[in-house]
Amino acid sequence: MKAVQFTRFGPPDVLELVELPVPEPGPGEVLVRVHAAGVNFFEVLMRADRYAVTPNLPMFPGIEVAGTIERAGPGADRSLIGTRVAVPLFAIGRGSGGYAEFVAVDGGAVVQLPDAVSFEAAAALMVQGLTALHLLRRSPVKGKIVLVNAAAGGVGSLLVQLARRDAASLVIAAASSNEKRGLALSLGADHAVDYTAPAWQEDIKRLTGGLGADIIYETVGGAFSRAALDALAPCGELVLVAMGRFGLETADIERMLGDNQSIKGFSLLPLLTSQGLREDLAELFEFAAAGALTVIDGGRFPLHQAAEAHRAIEGRRAVGKVVLVP
């Protein structure tokens, strides 16, 4: 089978297509033919050795796939053969290997996929869908003014929709281009602002009658984390999804304390349980199948163009979810 690896850190061109044996499903395992593999921003950082954890080399990236079960190993349920499934590799102790034509996994770890949900949508609703869902559970938005940064991205585009569903009083989307802001508005945002413009925080204050946002979901990191403080209301909450990349200093935190504001970190994996994971994915798939949640196609690339997929994300050209289609 074909798979993607990198043996050194660097630009997207370090990603290379290699031939490997098709994995043999072991006891209780199933072999899944991959139809869509999600590409995530943290994988871009990891490839460049800019992530919080440096992986061992060679590295075979990819932590979420969707496809069909082709074979069952000893003791696995053979009735699953032919079933469409989502495989959240990241949640079952497999932090790699998804950029490939096949994966072998525990048969109990797959989640059946409704016919109405595409493989590409399923890939988007694992890491990014679960992130959006749990962000709203940890910081409920009902009746509150919400600012979603990078609102046209994979997490942001889902957050906008789920915040609207959960009865936020006002949903403001922040994005870097007219196209992205238009997309966020089409998904249900009340307003959209350009977070790369000088003093963009003043637009937030104007739109909120001088109050600012009650909750800011900050996914960009760096200097944008500090800039977002000027858009945060007194007693507001800054939720940092870009863990390890935020640019806050002691003076910023002291200022927040004086305004009764709070910082909340977010890490998905500790929030997931085996049963909860299945229920959460089933809920997201149900929303998508019913048309209540729109998954934005950010681009589909064959395996041999994995480098182009990384460039699209790294250059912030992509909206929604970027996937590889073996």
- Report the C-alpha gap between 262 and 235 in whole angstroms: 7
For the chain, counts of helices (H) and of strands (E): 10, 15
Q: Say if residue 257 is in the same domain as residue 303.
A: no
- What are the structure tokens assigned to 285, written together? 């798939």
Task: Give a yes or no: residue 286 inside a domain.
Answer: no
Q: Say if residue 76 is in the same domain as residue 180.
A: no
Task: Give a yes or no: residue 85 inside a domain.
Answer: yes
pLDDT digits (tens, 9 = 90+) for 208-252: 999 999 999 998 877 788 889 999 999 999 999 866 567 788 888
How far does CA 159 lie from the centroid of its chain?
10
Task: Give a yes or no: residue 80 inside a domain.
Answer: yes
Last residue of a domain, one of 265, 287, 304: 265
Q: Say if residue 132 is in the same domain as residue 258.
A: yes
What pLDDT is stored for residue 245 in this prediction?
Answer: 65
Q: Say if residue 149 is in the same domain as residue 101.
A: no
Task: Give a yes or no: residue 281 inside a domain.
Answer: no
What pLDDT is stored for residue 57 in this prediction?
Answer: 97
Cut 0.75: pTM above it: yes
CATH number at residue 38: 3.90.180.10
Instruction: Please state, for a pLDDT cut of 90, what percent of the chain lies above it.
Output: 86
- DSSP for 68-121 reads EEEEE-TTS-GGGTT-EEEE-GGGTT--S--SBSEEEEEGGG-EE--TTS-HHH
Task: Give a yes or no: residue 96 inside a domain.
Answer: yes
Give the torsion sign (CA, 273, 278, 281, 283).
negative
Task: Give a yes or no: residue 38 inside a domain.
Answer: yes
List, in order, residues 6 or more apart from 114 with CB less than 8 Å away. Answer: 285, 286, 289
- What are the structure tokens assigned to 211, written together? 């109050």
Q: Say if residue 133 is in the same domain as residue 244.
A: yes
Domain count within the chain: 2
What pLDDT is stored for residue 8 in this prediction?
Answer: 98
pLDDT digits (tens, 9 = 90+) for 43-96: 999 999 998 889 999 999 999 999 999 999 999 999 999 999 999 999 988 889
Mean pLDDT within 151-156: 94
Given pLDDT bands bounded at 50, 70 and 90, which one contains residue 192?
very high
What pLDDT is stored for residue 244 in this prediction?
Answer: 57
pLDDT digits (tens, 9 = 90+) for 111-132: 999 999 999 999 999 999 999 9
Residue 204 domain boundaries: 128-265
pLDDT digits (tens, 9 = 90+) for 165-179: 999 999 999 999 999
Task: Give a yes or no: residue 261 inside a domain.
Answer: yes
